[in-house]
A and B are shown apart, each in its own frame.
Chain A
Amino acid sequence: MEVALFWVLAVAALAGGALVFRVASMARATFALLAALICVGGELVLLGLPYLGVVVVLMMVMEMVIMVVFMVAYMMNPGGLMPMSMLHNKRGALVISAGVFLALAAGILLVPWPAPAVVLPADTTFQLGESLMGGQMLTMMTLGFVLLSTMVGATALVSRRGRYDRYGDDLDRRPADDPAGGGVGR
């Protein structure tokens, strides 16, 4: 039963991934990718990692829904009414993807796999939390700060208006002069 489900999800994930490059509409491409990623989340649940699986679904839905806004905004022909191709730099892409596939496949065969655990861990979510907040805590904290400062920095760089535009030359204008008024009225 579980093996059958594994294969169904695996084939569906690959089909969704392939569909991304077959459809002309940006909305369809994005949601084909989302379908593939939801199948990957299902695979993680099947592997006994329910937290990671459900979080992948949660985050990917949010990400893809935000991504579709940008895909529709930036790509030509967002609605797919004219034929277009999602394939660019075909030769280079083929070389890179073949190389990555071979490296990953070689990894599967060459890595010495640990012997199957005799007793399965009772709670993989707990294990994951312990690992993230124990041995890997420095990595996670560094990653978190790098991500946050990147987001704040990128937003500050693209924002044309600074505090002098909002509060005036002496920073004493109240309320602030904003193009769009917010609910707090600062």
Chain B
Amino acid sequence: MSDAAPWWSVLAAPALLVALALLAVAADGVLSARAAGRPFALSAVARPLLEVPRLLVAQPRRLPAPDMPLWRIGVVTVPVAAVLSVMVVPFGPFAVSGLSVGLVWFNAMEVLTWAGLWLAGWGPNAAFSLVGGYRYLAQGLAYELPLMFALMTPGIGAQSLRVGDIAAAQGGLWFAVWMPVAFAVHLWSVLAFGFTGPFAYPAGGDIAGGVFGETSGPERLLLSAGRWLWLAAGSAMAVPLFLGGGAGPWLPGWAWSLVKTVAVLALLVWARGRLPMIRADRYMEVAWVVLLPLSVLQALVPALVVL
């Protein structure tokens, strides 16, 4: 069971998530500087972060007849859903909300990204943006079902939908050890709902940036923040689900949670730069013909063990 967290955790959790996202951006800057053969320097860390003030003061661009309300709602939904999703993720022994159906809550918030990105593609009244929005839906249909089973598997193992209970149920053995398929599918899908790395298809260069194509200024900042916030939120969720939460020797629980989250995040940031982009139609078949049966079989393992 997770303890009731103090009231200021409502503010601390988003701040921590933003800090993790900034860390991921900085790490990505260093990795891409190294890939480009530039010497390591502080500027490699600072360069992507300098985008923040630049975008805040940038002049917004508009096409004729944009659907402004829907566009704004879409752009705001992506980062806000990411922040809301971590409200149920325990940090050491504390969670902002010990919601009894936390697992489903995380899933619901992640699905809100579908709506957000489609709206972000629809809003600007531009063909390539809209193609990007549709691409995310195609990709979503492919990755969502294996992910749902991957999220469900630790829930079955712990016999609870409360994320704190799932973390506490791994006293003997981490779920990552005996649910490796679910763990791998979860990590893989974090890249998908972060629409990054192999899943950057909705924002692909072949459609001039897709959902990012017509965004500028603060809207672009929010949408790219959403991408990194989701990467951090997915990493944070992997820790209580598969890596034993805050359990570990010597250090206090919150420190272990932080260490594990940063380790997962580092793996994902490294992977996103190493993997090529996959088209949604190709990934669809991989997801439904290979990953989905594997995830169902993986969910069967804890079901049999628990029974």
Contact = CB atoms under 8 A, between A and B. Distances in A.
Interface of A: 25, 27-28, 31, 34, 50-51, 54-55, 57-58, 61-62, 64-66, 68-69, 79-81, 123, 125, 180-184, 186
B108 A57 contact: yes
Given A27-B67, A28-B67, A183 B111 contact: no
A123 B159 CA distance: 13
Contact of A182 (B114, B125, B285): B285
A58 B111 contact: yes
B32 interface: no
A69 B115 CA distance: 11
Interface stretch (B97-105, B174-182, B188-196, B239-247): B97-105
Residue among A25, A55, A58, A69 having the largest count of chain B Cβ atoms under 10 Å: A58
Contact of B67 (A25, A55, A58, A65): A25
Contacts of B119: 27, 31
A186 B112 CA distance: 33
Contacts of A123: 100
B108 A58 contact: yes
Interface of B (DSSP majority class): helix
B111 A62 contact: yes
Contacts of A65: 114-115, 118, 137, 140
Interface string B138-161: 001100100000000000000001
A27 B74 CA distance: 12
Contacts of B282: 181-183
A184 B69 CA distance: 41
Interface in B200-253: none
B70 interface: yes
B286 A183 contact: yes
Interface string B93-128: 000000111001101100110110011001001000
Contact of B284 (A31, A62, A64, A182): A182
A182 B154 CA distance: 30
A58 B145 CA distance: 13
Contact of A55 (B69, B104, B112, B283): B104
Q: Which residue, A25, A34, A183, has most C-beta atoms of chain B within 10 A? A: A183
B111 A61 contact: yes
Contacts of A81: 65
Contacts of A183: 278, 282-286
A130 to B, nearest CB: 13
A125 B100 contact: yes
A28 B115 CA distance: 12
10 contacts: A28-B69, A65-B115, A66-B137, A68-B118, A79-B125, A125-B101, A182-B286, A183-B283, A183-B285, A184-B285
A1 to B, nearest CB: 16
Nearest to A41: B108
Contacts of A31: 70, 73, 115, 119
B289 interface: yes
B104 A51 contact: yes
Interface in B267-302: 278, 281-286, 289-290
A180 B284 CA distance: 11
B91 interface: no
A170 to B, nearest CB: 24
B256 interface: no
A68 B100 CA distance: 32
B285 A58 contact: no
A61 B112 contact: yes
B290 A184 contact: yes
Contacts of B283: 183
Which 8 residue pairs are nearest across A and B when measured between Cβ atoms? A182-B285, A183-B282, A58-B108, A183-B286, A54-B104, A183-B285, A65-B114, A50-B101
A161 to B, nearest CB: 15
